[in-house]
Structure 1
Amino acid sequence: MDKLTIRDIDVAGKTVLVRVDFNVPRDKDTGEITDDNRVVAALPTINYLLDHNPKAVVLFSHLGKIKKEEDKAKNDMAVVAPKLAELLGRDVKFVNATRGAELEEAVKNAENGQVILVQNTRYEAGETKNDPELGAYWASLGDVFVEDAFGSVHRAHASTVGIAAHLPAVAGFLVEKEIAYIGKAVSDPERPLVAILGGSKVSSKIGVIENLLNIADKIIIGGGMCYTFAKAQGHTVGSSLVEEDKVDLAKSFIEKGGDKLILPIDSVVSSKFGEDGDIKVVGEDVPEGYMGLDIGPKTVELFAKELEGAKTVIWNGPMGVFEMPKFAEGTKAVCSMLANLKGANTIIGGGDSAAAVKQLGFADKVSHISTGGGASLEYMEGKVLPGIAAINDK
């Protein structure tokens, strides 16, 4: 890794500004946090900093989307402070402001490693526009900047890029880990490198497929997106999800990929989108009145065979509608394949595939689960991520 990390700096007596990802899911009725994984993921970096005697650790994060004034109340960062305090086992001072005297006084008067959580960065209209004045203002509050919100590094915002323009900027442990796993997988993988791509739409994975066709040894396609490929091959798809405007693109991927591109050979289909329809297994053609909702058993066998001997595997996107048990078998099978792949670096690229791995009980059996859906996708596309580019080089 060619970026500076928190191990490379001295934070003793300094005010450390940290961009974390506390964009946690909450219950729509009570507002309570339903999954604290993102808070837990930030703890190693925060605790490391606290162990090295800073004056203060000031945490910045967004929470939800703020499109109008009414959105502020339902995306108030105050909900995170008690959860963070509980997990850290120490006091967390929440500042209900993103600028002004209250914030400035809290930072100025902090001592002995006080942890300060700032109100939702998106309360500021200039956050998502990377307003230079806002980035400079936030930077003026501290001495050093730590980027540890991998889920936001693909966005050039004031809190991810703007602050870093004015202070020494280093990676926290979470971002360092993502660079080590996903960055290495796409730039210098141990081979064979096999990519497994699923999810509903080809359109959301175009850049990933284009990049991986150049660097992967095999690309396995599943999920709803495989029916656009099936149509490109001339198969019938019934009422399966198909992006008609992407059929020609899928055809070009098939031609370019050749033997490298592995497509399903059977499907679990249903007469309706639900577990109460007429469900059956069919071959490569989906009959009229049916929709494909999971890969079939022969495809599971094919994918297992193609994964044999893989040394690096990147997986992004489930194989079917895994939220419904009758259509979760394909996704579950891929989880099991990766869990039992000896000596392989297995990387789950965030989003739905990360949710599936956790829900199906395989989270501790893979090498790495990315914390950033959009960021990991763009990283796999080979794009330069603004938040990572903003970290100082070694």
Structure 2
Amino acid sequence: MIDYYEMTRDFWLINLSKQLETPTLVRIDINIPVVDGKIVENSYRLHVYADVLTLLSEYAGIVAVAHQGRKGQDDFIPLKQHWVVLRKLLPTDIDIDFIPFDKVFTEETKNRIRKLRRREVILLDNIRMLDEETSFNPSNSKFIEFFKGVIKSAVNDAIPVWHRPHTSLMALPYIAKTYVGVRSILELKTLKDVLEAKEKGVALIMGGAKLAKVNYLMKILKWAKGYTGGLPGQLLAYVDGHDLNIRNINFLKKKFKEKDFIAAKELVKKFNVKYPKDFVIVENGEKKVVSLDEIGKCNGIIYDIGPETVEWYASETEGMDIRIRAGPLGVFERGFDNGVKLTKMIAGSGLIFLGGDTTAEVSMYGLDKIIANTGGVLCVSGGSFLHGLAGEPYYSIDELIKMQKRN
């Protein structure tokens, strides 16, 4: 395993008044769910990074770089809505401006950056609109050319996207002295805590709408115990021979590829990953709890794990030092909250929530502060956390260490 917590110590942002200079370029991650073109405003990530920007702007003028979605997908939108929410979240004495993408790489913006002062923030538009963002080449990078000589210090605080070798992350040490950000240090410590608890018991409870990268899971499940809900839970139950009724089976076949069905079967057979014993379904407008053995006789659509599964998972994981929730276990947006009930049952020291929709779930039900105040940790990183658990490299951090040791 790669211990990035210790490897990055020399590059931690821990003395802000001495380390930050105006202007400072900060890579953050405010990539959040989008519904019908509108962002989910109560996103945990927006609140976290509003606090990060508030802290950093106390010591330097800040240029914030972030992304939203991927080209060609519905959630690929400008960051103007994010800016509006950040304006509400930041203290009134901090000014935050927004630069649309067609004006980002201009002399006008460069001059605006040069004139930045403390307690001023500029949010640049969705960096994934830049063609070179997904193909880093330092020898002819527009990103490096624009910022080099203007930016005085840089911060990589976008741990949720560290598993991608994207330009806005990789380029930072080519532009100015670069530090690992305060939020990312916290989550690296959480990652280290998990890896050190291997012998004391680690549970990974996986939900959501997709199967996490199987190559990650195969490595993690060699030492962690796996439990599923959401669509992965249905998928594993189906490949293990259970009839989920034609409506749910057809939905699974639309959502997953053939390789996912093959991988799911291996997760059950080789790694003994658990799937739900019962589900909450909606049939003819009525909510029902149905056992796994009976669901094939119904016509209802699955919306949540059932209460027996909640009790079972809680009992199985109660003696484990670490319990990781990764992905919603039901359609929490519509009031299916058995994942929340499970969370309450396994709360306390060692409970870790991974980013994205999982933290949106606890925020919606008001559990975020309760978890944080009772020994749990809410992470903004999701896929990148699993990437680290699997022992995979964080490319931009490797680049940061290499470049700054060379200098």
Question: What TM-score comes out, normalization by structure 2 length?
Answer: 0.79
Asked if 1:298 is matched to 2:298, the reply is no
Aligned partner of 1:255 in structure 2 is: 269
Superposition map of 1:358-377 within 5 A: 358-366=363-371, 367-377=376-386
CA positional deviation for 1:347: 0.8
Aligned partner of 2:359 in structure 1 is: 354
* 360-369 vs 106-115, greater mean Cα deviation: 106-115
Which residue identity lines up with residue 282 of structure 1 in the other structure?
Answer: S
- Seen in structure 2, the aligned counterparts of structure 1 residues 22 and 268 have a Cα distance that, compared at 3 Å, is closer
CA distance in 1, matches of 2:242, 2:88: 56
Aligned partner of 2:153 in structure 1 is: 144
Identity of aligned residues (%): 23
| Contact in 1 for aligned 2:44/2:363 (Cα 8 Å) | no
Which residue identity lines up with residue 326 of structure 2 in the other structure?
Answer: N
- Seen in structure 2, the aligned counterparts of structure 1 residues 120 and 268 have a Cα distance that, compared at 3 Å, is closer
CA positional deviation for 1:19: 0.9
Which residue identity lines up with residue 334 of structure 1 in the other structure?
Answer: L
CA distance in 2, matches of 1:142, 1:112: 14
Superposition map of 1:44-63 within 5 A: 44-52=51-59, 54=60, 56-63=61-68
| Contact in 1 for aligned 2:54/2:94 (Cα 8 Å) | no
Aligned partner of 1:80 in structure 2 is: 83
Asked if 1:200 is matched to 2:204, the reply is no
- Seen in structure 2, the aligned counterparts of structure 1 residues 279 and 124 have a Cα distance that, compared at 3 Å, is same
Larger proportion of helix: 2
Which residue identity lines up with residue 90 of structure 2 in the other structure?
Answer: L
Superposition map of 1:18-37 within 5 A: 18-23=26-31, 34-35=41-42, 37=44
| Contact in 2 for aligned 1:351/1:373 (Cα 8 Å) | yes
Task: Give the secondary structure class of the aligned counterpart of 2:41.
Answer: coil
- Count, aligned residues: 376
- Seen in structure 2, the aligned counterparts of structure 1 residues 27 and 207 have a Cα distance that, compared at 3 Å, is closer
Task: Give the secondary structure class of the aligned counterpart of 1:201.
Answer: coil
Which residue identity lines up with residue 277 of structure 2 in the other structure?
Answer: I
Counterpart of 2:280 (choices 263, 268, 271) is 268
- Seen in structure 2, the aligned counterparts of structure 1 residues 256 and 40 have a Cα distance that, compared at 3 Å, is same
| Contact in 2 for aligned 1:232/1:251 (Cα 8 Å) | yes
Question: What TM-score comes out, normalization by structure 1 length?
Answer: 0.81
* 31-40 vs 379-388, greater mean Cα deviation: 31-40
Superposition map of 1:159-174 within 5 A: 159-174=168-183
CA distance in 2, matches of 1:106, 1:150: 28
Task: Give the secondary structure class of the aligned counterpart of 1:115.
Answer: strand
- Structure 2 regions of 5+ residues with no counterpart? none
CA positional deviation for 1:131: 4.6
Aligned partner of 1:336 in structure 2 is: 344
Counterpart of 1:91 (choices 75, 79, 95) is 95
CA distance in 2, matches of 1:33, 1:298: 31
CA distance in 2, matches of 1:231, 1:37: 33
Asked if 1:121 is matched to 2:124, the reply is no
CA positional deviation for 1:166: 4.0
